[in-house]
Amino acid sequence: MTPEQAKRFKYWQTRTIIGTMVGYALYYFVRKNFSLAMPGLEADMGITKVQLGFFLTLHGVIYGCSRFVNGFIADRVSGRKFMTLGLVLCSLANYAFGFSDTFARLTTGMSSGAQFLAATVVFMGVIWVINGFVQGMGVPPVNRLLTHWIPARELATKMSVWNTSHSIGAGLVVILCGYLMTHFGVGAWRLCFFVPATISLCGAVWLWFTLRDTPSSLGLPELTNTTTAGKVEKTDTKSPAYRAFVRKQVFGNRIIWTIAFVNFLVYIVRFTILDWGPTLLKETKGVSLASAGWMVALFEIAGIVGMLVAGWATDRFLKSRAHRTCVFCMIGAAVSMLLFWKIPADAHPIATFVALCMAGFFIYGPQALLGIATSNHATKKASATGNGLVGLFGYASTVISGLGIGYMAKNYGWDHTFVALLGVAVVTILVLLTIWNIKADSYEEAEKLEAEIAAKYKDGNPLTN
């Protein structure tokens, strides 16, 4: 690559990282806006917490499945087109959600009553499920785009920067929607969908003109998959030997399944605070929705700091044993949630703010580190499969954080809900302690497994050609 090509490549690499960060943050604009709209949906439309929780659960489960399905599609189409199309569809789904009661009125001929409410709930549920599916068009094309523009040796560092996009998007949209709900009243729940959708639709146009799929589309040389020694390694993912390796290293690996279960538990805590936070703050602490929006945004910012500190501490003090850092983080998360719960409603808002930020700081560490631990124990040859399994467990948690929390808050109150969350945090710590003594990675064991498979298939190295 000539100096001029290197300069152009660096420019487009930076442009791609920033473009996909902004694009994915906008996906959160038309996803996490729902949490600020929930109090308005309760007050204005009479939607119950159980029904709201059901929406969250369906959305989360469909989203997790969609990411898996769209991963196969994104590998075969233009990442730029796929990501842009997904953002447009998410925006349109949000517009449609804002007109759910209008659709119900047209189909039932009524503007109130049980039949009208039932029709409204059905329209909202169906539209939000559709949004959940098209939301899954966000991450897969990003993975494709970034691997074309970022060398493997730089991917971990630059992906850690990119990963802040979801916190930025979630933080900004809760501030925006908190302002709308406070200044325009409970009926402004529609604006919580219309305004972010308009911003995201404009962002989709910008995304189309900002991104390019590959360096070669701009006349630049493509990256090669090489190690620092210059050795090119290609994995034959279609061979029976490779499938045998994945079965044993991922699906037959106790460590991977333990991490997956821990991820399920961590996401229960994270999604409960993120999705129910504004409602919880309003009902238990007397916080206005505008202030609640700011608090949830700062929860996300504290989470970014927590991720960075947890990663640094893992390498600096715990010899890259990410699972051990997760134990300390979950202890901190449990203490933070206990403090948050026990703060009186008439206490100074700063006390609530500090406790919530502490919770964000400690919860987001495990969220990031569990993915790293999965990659280290699945090894690079099966890290995508391992993280796919662990990620699926994470979004399956919406069955609890959505429907379960909604049912518990409605029927037993927020005090019992906090006790349940503390219980989840304690169980997470206990499960992590079962793998306290494992090594930082499983590469040594993977090499032995490769040798066993090579002997069985008698074709040299079973995983590469």
232 three-class SS: strand
Residues 321 and 438 in one domain: yes
185 three-class SS: coil
**Residue 364, CA distances (Å) to 39, 235, 330 in order:** 25, 33, 10
429 lies in some domain: yes
Q: What pLDDT does residue 157 have?
A: 60
259 versus 317: which is more confidently predicted? 259
Q: What pLDDT does residue 186 have?
A: 79
Share of the chain above pLDDT 70, in %: 92
Q: Average pLDDT over the chain, rounded to whole?
A: 88
pTM of the model: 0.77
89 three-class SS: helix
Q: What pLDDT does residue 448 have?
A: 92
Reported as a pLDDT band with limits 50, 70 and 90, residue 155 is low
243 versus 144: which is more confidently predicted? 243
At residue 46, what is the residue type?
Answer: G
Q: What pLDDT does residue 228 have?
A: 38
Q: Report the candidate in 35, 49, 89, 52 with the shortest Cα–Cα distance to residue 197.
A: 89
311 lies in some domain: yes
* CA gap 100, 418 in Å, rounded: 32
Q: In the chain, what are the helix, strand and coil shares in percent, each to the nearest 5? A: 80, 0, 20
Q: Single out the residue in 162, 178, 212 at which a domain terminates.
A: 212
Q: What range does the domain containing 127 cover?
A: 1-212
**Residue 4, CA distances (Å) to 7, 8, 219, 222, 449 in order:** 5, 6, 12, 15, 45
Domain CATH number, residue 63: 1.20.1250.20
Q: Single out the residue in 181, 212, 243 at which a domain terminates.
A: 212
228 lies in some domain: no
224 lies in some domain: no
Residues 340 and 425 in one domain: yes
Q: Single out the residue in 212, 245, 265 at which a domain terminates.
A: 212
Q: What pLDDT does residue 231 have?
A: 43
Does residue 61 surpass a pLDDT of 70?
A: yes
Q: DSSP secondary-structure letter at 213?
A: S
221 lies in some domain: no
Q: How many independent structural domains does the chain possess? A: 2
Residues 197 and 240 in one domain: no
Q: Residue for token digits 């075969």?
A: 76
60 lies in some domain: yes
Residues 148 and 290 in one domain: no
Most confident by average pLDDT, 7-16, 142-151, 376-385: 7-16
- Tens of pLDDT along 393-436? 988 999 999 989 999 999 999 999 999 999 999 999 999 999 99
Residues 81 and 138 in one domain: yes
Q: Is 274 in contact with 295 (CB distance < 8 Å)? A: no
- Tens of pLDDT along 445-459? 988 998 999 888 765
Residues 275 and 144 in one domain: no
Does residue 75 surpass a pLDDT of 70?
A: no
180 lies in some domain: yes
Does residue 21 surpass a pLDDT of 70?
A: yes
Residues 100 and 244 in one domain: no
Q: Return the bridge partners of 464, or none.
A: 235
Residues 75 and 196 in one domain: yes
Does residue 160 surpass a pLDDT of 70?
A: no
Residues 55 and 102 in one domain: yes
- Tens of pLDDT along 110-132? 988 999 999 999 999 999 999 99
Please compute the mean of the pLDDT values over residues 199-221 and round it to a whole number.
Answer: 94
Does residue 349 surpass a pLDDT of 90?
A: no
Judging by beta carbons within 10 Å of its beta carbon (0-12, 13-18, 19+), is residue 153 exposed, middle or buried? Answer: exposed
37 lies in some domain: yes
- Tens of pLDDT along 25-60? 999 999 999 988 999 999 999 999 999 998 988 998
- Tens of pLDDT along 232-264? 445 566 678 888 988 999 899 999 999 999 999
Q: What pLDDT does residue 28 have?
A: 95
Residues 44 and 138 in one domain: yes
Reported as a pLDDT band with limits 50, 70 and 90, residue 73 is confident
**Residue 414, CA distances (Å) to 330, 352, 388 in order:** 21, 15, 33
Q: In the chain, how many H helices and how many E strands?
A: 20, 0
Q: How many CA atoms lie within 13 A of 360 on its CB side?
A: 23
Residues 199 and 259 in one domain: no
Does residue 440 surpass a pLDDT of 90?
A: no
Residues 400 and 257 in one domain: yes
* CA gap 214, 16 in Å, rounded: 10
Residues whose CB is less than 8 angstroms from the CB of residue 65 and which lie 6 or more positions away in sequence, other chains included: 136
